[in-house]
Structure 1
Amino acid sequence: MAPGQHPLLQLPSFLYGLYPSVIQKTHKEGLRCGEQYRKDGSFPVPPQMLEVSPGEVVLTHGVADFRHEQPVWRLYMVSNVMSGMYEALNWQNTLPVDDLYEAFCRESAWGALYFATSQDAPRSAERTALRLQAVLRFWEPLQSMRYLFKTLGPSLTLDELMVASCGWAMDAWCPGGETPVLSRLKTAAERMARATREDSLEAILRQMPRALAYARDLKHRAVVADPSFQRERLAALEPSAFERVSGACTADLLEKLYDWEHELGLH
């Protein structure tokens, strides 16, 4: 490999093509995965992998997919594979299947990137650490691509994609934007992997101002914005409820702010 080149990335063929074709292929793959899971509790490897040309654009979010008439890589369509899998399982016991399928996918570059950028629930500190660590394992081949996320415009580098999709994790767990993205991701993943409840509490409090900036029509804003109030409410959460917000994802914290707003309105 020439200096400066990255290893070639391979993606499942069912993620490439015209929009209707990818819908059909990913659904078929989901049914195949569900049928094998029912038989022996495992998942099949993709039937065909294709090398992606360096610099080729990969769509990582449906919001940016306005190229239905063009054959492109549609990574976000892994979600359609999962829907097909649920259908094959008659939509029963999907949560444990979710966990197992994600763990299976994180062993591949495409799966690692999908789960890191899609931010499917749960977004606990432990789960987010696993997602970030998976992306870091495949950092070099993933750098060879360009990406579209939630906005149209110039395609993004891997660094830019991770800031757009996982910036909240870096802000909460590795404050200081001057450090290179790769270093911040590594630090954030390490800290999340070994986080105590108190570590998560401090990370959540660091992220609360960001969540508040997105909150609208809060009648009790002064109360829910008070760090002492936030700390008290967070400390009172049962372990399972706290685990759900322990990653300090902005979307989860925004939901918690509205929960508190609702509770205050009842009194």
Structure 2
Amino acid sequence: MAPGQPPLLQLPSFLHGTYSLVQQKTKEEGLRCGKQYRESGSFPAPQQMLEVPPHEWVVTHEVVDFHRERPAWRLHMVSGVMQGLYEAMDWQSPIPLRDAYEEFIRETGWGALYFAISPTSPKSAKITARRLQAVLRFWEPLQSARYVFSTPNDALSLEELMVASCHWALDAWCPTGEGSVYARMETAVNRMAQASREDSLEAIFRQMPRALISARDLKHRDVVADPSFQRERIAALDSRAFERVSGACTSDLLALLYAWDRQLGKQ
């Protein structure tokens, strides 16, 4: 990188190559991480980091990773590291292990982006705030790359990627739509980080109409679409269950709608 130029995004070398090669390398990395974690309770840094040239694309979702025989940057395959990590730890306490690894790699640009845009649960308000805040910290190098997310052969800027992957968070927590994507994310992060139960309820009910649009095969739609029914059921959630949906992620709200629909079918 020449002096004065913005920093380029760096990715671990184990995320570059053909699909089968990256699959092998990420599993090896997971096993390596698991071995150190078992011995010391810490994770090792990647052995080699590579700069992503500005003209090259980063594949961020498996559904668009069609050309598996071609070398590519495959960010979505961080999941392979976690699988190797679980295996190294004999699948003991996988959720705390995942959380510990997330906290570790969220201190890197690539780790922050992976957890912000991946379908990894949970998506509570506070966890989502930490994930998006991490992306904001690495905004400049992350902007240097182009990304493939949901449409093959369609390269997205960082702003477009965040809207495509995290639109639910922006819509629920910064619904005005005014300002840059960065500014809206900052607002959403601040609101989620300090959200009360009432704040989360307001965000949830802003997103419920969108969740209902996606829930096409509900058998008791008239009932579960009733806001008073929704409020009654959400009020009945214990603190742990409510925390899991407090970010107002559309997929989490869909899960609630289908669960309520199944319960009504048993009555």
Q: Structure 2 length normalisation: TM-score?
A: 0.97
How many angstroms apart in 1 are the aligned matches of 2:227 and 2:157?
A: 36
1:71 aligned residue: 71
Instruction: Give the match's secondary structure for 1:219.
Output: coil
Using the TM superposition, give the Cα deviation of residue 235 of structure 1 relative to its aligned residue in structure 2, in angstroms: 1.1
1:54 aligned residue: 54
- Is it true that 1:231 corresponds to 2:203 in the alignment? no
1:45 aligned residue: 45
How many angstroms apart in 2 are the aligned matches of 1:154 and 1:21?
A: 24
Instruction: Give the match's secondary structure for 2:188.
Output: helix
Using the TM superposition, give the Cα deviation of residue 2 of structure 1 relative to its aligned residue in structure 2, in angstroms: 7.4
1:34 aligned residue: 34
Using the TM superposition, give the Cα deviation of residue 229 of structure 1 relative to its aligned residue in structure 2, in angstroms: 1.2
2:173 aligned residue: 173
How many angstroms apart in 1 are the aligned matches of 2:29 and 2:260?
A: 42
Q: How many residues align?
A: 266
Give runs of aligned pairs for residues 1-267 of structure 1, distance below 5 A.
5-267=5-267
| Letter matched to residue 23 of structure 1 | Q
Using the TM superposition, give the Cα deviation of residue 98 of structure 1 relative to its aligned residue in structure 2, in angstroms: 0.7
User: Deviation per CA, 1:199-242, whole angstroms, max 9, x where unpaired?
Assistant: 00110010000000000221211111111111111111000000
Instruction: Give the match's secondary structure for 1:153.
Output: coil
How many angstroms apart in 2 are the aligned matches of 1:210 and 1:44?
A: 41
How many angstroms apart in 2 are the aligned matches of 1:235 and 1:188?
A: 24
Write out the 4+ residue segments of structure 1 that deviate beyond 3 Å after TM superposition.
Answer: none
Kindly, what percent of the aligned residue pairs are identical?
67
Instruction: Give the match's secondary structure for 2:115.
Output: helix
Q: Which runs of 5+ in 2 are unaligned?
A: none
User: Deviation per CA, 1:96-121, whole angstroms, max 9, x where unpaired?
Assistant: 11111000010000000000010300
How many angstroms apart in 2 are the aligned matches of 1:250 and 1:182?
A: 21
| Letter matched to residue 161 of structure 2 | L
How many angstroms apart in 2 are the aligned matches of 1:6 and 1:212?
A: 43
**CA distance 1:28–1:136, shift in 2 (3 Å):** same
| Letter matched to residue 25 of structure 1 | K
Greater CA drift, 96-105 or 151-160: 151-160
How many angstroms apart in 1 are the aligned matches of 2:184 and 2:100?
A: 28
User: Deviation per CA, 1:45-98, whole angstroms, max 9, x where unpaired?
Assistant: 000001111132000001110121211100001000000000101111111111
User: Deviation per CA, 1:111-153, whole angstroms, max 9, x where unpaired?
Assistant: 0000001030011001000000000000000000000012213
Are 1:55 and 1:144, in contact at CA under 8 Å, matched by a contact in 2?
A: no
Are 1:34 and 1:86, in contact at CA under 8 Å, matched by a contact in 2?
A: yes
Q: Which runs of 5+ in 1 are unaligned?
A: none
Instruction: Give the match's secondary structure for 2:208.
Output: helix
Greater CA drift, 158-167 or 53-62: 53-62
| Letter matched to residue 13 of structure 1 | S
How many angstroms apart in 2 are the aligned matches of 1:94 and 1:203?
A: 30
How many angstroms apart in 1 are the aligned matches of 2:55 and 2:173?
A: 30
| Letter matched to residue 88 of structure 1 | A
Are 1:6 and 1:143, in contact at CA under 8 Å, matched by a contact in 2?
A: no
Using the TM superposition, give the Cα deviation of residue 176 of structure 1 relative to its aligned residue in structure 2, in angstroms: 2.1
How many angstroms apart in 2 are the aligned matches of 1:115 and 1:61?
A: 12
Instruction: Give the match's secondary structure for 1:54.
Output: coil
